[in-house]
Amino acid sequence: AQTVTQSQPEMSVQEAETVTLSCTYDTSENNYYLFWYKQPPSRQMILVIRQEAYKQQNATENRFSVNFQKAAKSFSLKISDSQLGDTAMYFCAFMTIYYNNNDMRFGAGTRLTVKP
């Protein structure tokens, strides 16, 4: 069974600084996708970034980037130039893809607070 572990229940960072959120996963699959979702106080689930396991290049989206280490089964999220609006719960998620048959497994989340 696939499991996703986020070992940091809470983190904080000063505005404009950089923070890294950790995620590890366990799977015997070779092809899969990894995601980071953000859940602000509104509780909306917002996709931050995704990574295809077959791609060696780390994904980036503006201030958000990942460090994907496939052999170590590690998928960390780096937020640069943190902004107050980045305050949210961040969930790491793992998904294997079968033809139109897939479910996503989430970690327990990391609560990030950006301080002014």
Residues that bind another protein (CB under 8 A): 33, 37, 43-47, 50, 52, 91, 95, 97, 99-109
Shortest reach from residue 45's CB to another protein, in Å: 4
Shortest reach from residue 72's CB to another protein, in Å: 22
Contacts 24+ apart (CB under 8 A), 51-59: 51/75
Shortest reach from residue 36's CB to another protein, in Å: 12
Shortest reach from residue 78's CB to another protein, in Å: 21
Residue (13 or 95) nearer to another protein, CB: 95
CA distance 71 to 79: 23
Residue 63: which residues within 8 A CB-CB, separation 6 or more? 79, 80, 81, 83
CA distance 83 to 63: 10
- Residue 49's closest CA among 75, 69, 73, 29? 75
Residue (41 or 116) nearer to another protein, CB: 41
Residue (8 or 52) nearer to another protein, CB: 52
Residue (1 or 71) nearer to another protein, CB: 1
